């Protein structure tokens, strides 16, 4: 049966004309432009349609129905323009539809759409692997496995850790998020709902608190009373926890973690799926602490929105032989082309420096809100453009998120009571100023009725 997908559903109040001709540029906006109630009539109708067909497991934060994007601006299907400080969950590092990325995708799509690098030799796969070795946060020779998503390369890191060490157990941190497939979700410990009804999960996963107190617990309790250190294959850590609520660890944490791994022959795996690719003002978040991991996984920002994930491992740990691991689609040539263009823009387009500067601007502007709204705004934190504003409760965080949405600013909650800001790294000073003003107004609105 064929079905035509058309917008919107029959009985919706739909404006006759789209609010803006699709050819008009979004790039010149430095304020949101909200023309309808949000969600607008087309969005309402589309949501009703969506909810008839899509998996109810999708969490859907609020009713944004994007039609197109440019830079830091997203236009929804009613022609409303939003400042995108969520970037599709911290993905679009080069902004929406950066011309250099779009051009690289177009060129590659006209040459070769797919040829599995698992069974054959795909040139662009090896070129991207070489580039990833060049920018990796570890010195020396590496090897790279490419997947299609964050979870897939976390799984690869877990499998490789077992393979390389001959050990079974893995340590993760409370508040950590690593994905939703069986291995990675077993390692995830940010919300119990990710585990509910899916047992049994992968055995041999131990969790300790994130930060130096967790390492005390690891050394004094886990290694002592639960499982000897030499039975652990890997410790998997987000250098800055993302989904867990933008948690920056104390300065001793990562260097001490490195020492513990060295002492016991445990592999240190940095999960930089969210924090990598320049987002924190350095290519990798772990570089803020001068620590070298044995493996790093990255995904979200790597190809500016095209699906890809990468596991980069020191060469002497990538011991597995032909057939031990692979993927039909992993390292798709179009995604690889987008990744190469993204790395070029990050390094030569000033995006990483901009992430550091705009992050400082946001911290400087929003930091005083803690004193202005005592008991409502608890903390303003983060590094570069991976930032979190912590509130007194999850309900307040969600109310601020929704108030910002109605005003034309897209942000996303994280952890129990945090609103995350993770805009594209191309965001300008003017757009950042507009976003922080709207965010402060949203807090004012919510604080007044609480
Ligand atoms: C740190 C981290 N690791 C892994 C993942 C999983 O990535 P994906 O959703 O692409 O599977 C995420 C996703 O949010 C993440 O933030």
Say if 12 falls within a structural domain. Answer: no
The residue whose CA is least distant from atom 7 of ligand 1 is 150
Select from 57, 158, 177 the residue to mutate for testing ligand 1; criterion: most ligand atoms less than 8 Å from CB.
177
Q: How many domains does the chain have?
A: 2
Average pLDDT over residues 163-167: 98
Query: Are 140 and 281 members of one domain?
Result: yes
Work out which ligand 1 atom sits closest to the CA atom of 271: 1
**Residue closest by Cα to atom 4 of ligand 1:** 178
Q: Is residue 26 a part of any domain in this protein? A: no
Residue 6 lies in a domain: no
pLDDT digits (tens, 9 = 90+) for 249-278: 999 999 999 999 999 999 999 999 999 999
Stretch 212-225: mean pLDDT, rounded?
98
Give the confidence band of 30 by pLDDT, cuts at 50, 70, 90. confident
Q: In the predicted model, is pLDDT for residue 29 greater than 80?
A: no
In angstroms, the CA 245 to CA 224 distance is 30
Domain CATH number, residue 331: 3.40.640.10
Give the residue-averaged pLDDT of 219-236: 98
Tokens for 70, please give them.
């440019």
Q: Do both 194 and 120 map to the same domain? A: yes
Shared-domain flag, residues 424 and 336: no
CA 114 – CA 335 distance, rounded (Å)? 10
The whole domain housing 82 covers: 41-97+351-449
Higher pLDDT, 98 or 27: 98
Question: Residue 100 — pLDDT band, cuts 50, 70, 90?
Answer: very high
In the reported structure, the alpha carbon of residue 300 is separated from the centroid of ligand 1 by a whole-number distance in angstroms of 7
Q: What integer best gives the mean pLDDT of the chain?
A: 94
pLDDT for the residue 277: 98
User: Which atom of ligand 1 has the smallest separation from the CA of 241?
Assistant: 1
User: Is the pLDDT reported for residue 10 higher than 80?
Assistant: no
Of 8-12, 82-86, 132-136, 204-208, least confident by mean pLDDT is 8-12
Residue 125 inside a domain? The answer is: yes
Average pLDDT score over residue span 36-59 = 96
Residue 34 lies in a domain: no
Say if residue 120's pLDDT is above 60.
Answer: yes
Q: What is the pLDDT of residue 12?
A: 42
Q: What CATH number did the domain enclosing 71 receive? A: 3.90.1150.10
Q: How far is the CA of 312 from the centre of ligand 1 (A)?
A: 16
Q: Are residues 88 and 131 in the same domain?
A: no
Both 92 and 113 in one domain: the answer is no
Phi/psi of residue 236, nearest 5 degrees: -110, 125
Residues 318-366 pLDDT 10s: 999 999 999 999 999 999 999 999 999 999 999 999 999 999 999 999 9
Say what the pTM is. 0.95
In a shared domain, residues 255 and 391:
no
Same domain, 387 and 406: yes
Asked whether residue 22 is assigned to any structural domain, the reply reads no
Ligand 1 centroid, distance to 237 Cα (angstroms): 12
Query: In this predicted structure, what is the pLDDT of residue 25?
Result: 74
Shortest-distance atom of ligand 1 to CA 179: 6
Last residue of a domain, one of 348, 377, 394: 348
Query: How confident is the model at residue 369, as a pLDDT?
Result: 98
Give the pLDDT mean for 47-76: 97
Averaged over 303-315, what is the pLDDT? Answer: 98
CA of 194 to the centre of ligand 1 (A): 13
Contact by Cβ (8 Å): 435, 409? yes
In this prediction, residue 31 has a pLDDT band, given cuts at 50, 70 and 90, of: confident
Query: How far does residue 151's CA lie from ligand 1's centre (Å)?
Result: 6
Protein residue with least CA distance to atom 10, ligand 1: 150
pLDDT at 1: 34
86, 179, 187: residue to mutate for ligand 1 pocket, most atoms within 8 A of CB? 179
Atom 16 of ligand 1, residue of closest alpha carbon: 274
Average pLDDT of the residues in 138-147 = 98
Is 58 inside a domain boundary? Answer: yes
Distance CA 427, CA 254 (A): 30
Does 289 score more than 90 pLDDT?
A: yes
| Residue-level pLDDT at 23 | 56
- The residue out of 319, 348, 377 marking a domain boundary is 348
**Which residue has the CA at smallest separation from atom 13 of ligand 1?**
179
Q: Does residue 243 sit in the same domain as residue 113?
A: yes
Atom of ligand 1 nearest to the CA of 181: 11
Taking the CA of residue 272 as reference, the ligand 1 atom at the shortest distance is 1
Contact of 346 with 323, CB cutoff 8 Å: no
- pLDDT for 14 equals 45
CA of 137 to the centre of ligand 1 (A): 19
**C-alpha 362, offset from chain centre:** 19
384 and 266 in a single domain? The answer is no
Identify whether residues 77 and 110 lie together within a single domain. no
The set of protein residues with a Cβ atom below 6 angstroms from ligand 1 is: 149-151, 154, 177-179, 238, 242-243, 271, 273-274, 299
- 11 has a pLDDT exceeding 70: no
Residue after which a domain boundary falls, among 306, 333, 348: 348
Domain identity same for 83 and 206: no
Rounded-to-integer distance, Cα 71 and Cα 28, Å: 10
Q: Are 226 and 139 in a shared domain?
A: yes
Each residue of 368-401: b (16+ CB within 10 Å) or e? ebbeebeebbbbbbbbbbbbbbbbbeeebbbbbb
Q: Are 303 and 335 in contact (CB under 8 A)?
A: yes
Q: What average pLDDT score do residues 77-86 get? A: 97
pLDDT of residue 13: 45
Residue 3 within any structural domain of the chain: no
């Amino acid at each position: 049966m064929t079905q035509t997908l058309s917008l919107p559903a029959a009985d919706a109040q739909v404006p006759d004309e789209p609010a803006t001709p699709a050819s008009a540029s979004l790039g010149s906006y430095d304020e949101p432009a909200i023309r309808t109630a949000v969600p607008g009539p087309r969005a309402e109708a589309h949501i009703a349609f969506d909810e008839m067909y899509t998996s109810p497991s999708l969490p859907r934060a609020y009713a944004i129905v994007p039609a197109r994007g440019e830079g830091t601006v997203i236009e929804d299907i009613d022609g409303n323009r939003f400042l995108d400080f969520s970037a599709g969950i911290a993905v679009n590092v080069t902004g929406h539809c950066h011309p250099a990325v779009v051009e690289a995708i177009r060129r590659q799509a006209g040459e070769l759409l797919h040829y599995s690098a698992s069974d054959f030799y795909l040139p662009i796969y090896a070129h991207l692997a070489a580039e990833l070795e060049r920018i990796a946060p570890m010195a020396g020779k590496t090897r790279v496995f490419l997947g299609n998503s964050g979870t897939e390369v976390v799984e690869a890191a877990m499998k490789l850790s077992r393979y390389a060490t001959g050990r079974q157990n893995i340590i993760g941190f409370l508040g950590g998020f690593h994905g939703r497939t069986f291995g990675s979700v077993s390692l995830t410990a940010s919300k119990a709902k990710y585990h509910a009804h899916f047992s049994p999960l992968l055995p041999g996963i131990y969790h300790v608190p994130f930060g130096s107190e967790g390492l005390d617990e690891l050394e004094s309790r886990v290694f002592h009373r639960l499982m000897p250190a030499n039975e652990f294959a890997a410790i998997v850590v987000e250098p800055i926890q993302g989904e867990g609520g933008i948690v920056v660890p104390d300065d001793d944490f990562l260097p001490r973690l490195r020492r513990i791994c060295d002492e016991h022959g445990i592999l240190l795996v940095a999960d930089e799926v969210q924090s990598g690719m320049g987002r924190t003002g350095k290519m990798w978040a772990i570089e803020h602490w001068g620590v070298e991991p044995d493996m790093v996984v990255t995904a979200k920002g790597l190809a500016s929105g095209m699906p890809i994930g990468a596991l980069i491992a020191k060469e002497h740990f990538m011991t597995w032989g032909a057939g031990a691991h692979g993927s039909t689609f992993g390292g798709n040539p179009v995604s690889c082309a987008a990744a190469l263009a993204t790395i070029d823009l990050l390094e030569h387009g000033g995006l990483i420096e901009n992430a550091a500067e705009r992050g400082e601007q946001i911290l400087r502007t929003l930091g005083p809100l803690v004193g202005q709204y005592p008991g409502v705004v608890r903390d303003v934190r983060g590094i570069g453009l991976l930032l979190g504003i912590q509130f007194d409760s999850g309900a307040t965080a969600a109310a601020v998120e929704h108030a910002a949405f109605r005003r034309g600013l897209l942000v996303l909650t994280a952890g129990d009571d945090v609103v995350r800001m993770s805009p594209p790294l191309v965001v300008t000073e003017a757009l950042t100023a507009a976003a922080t003003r709207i965010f402060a107004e949203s807090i004012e609105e919510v604080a007044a009725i609480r």
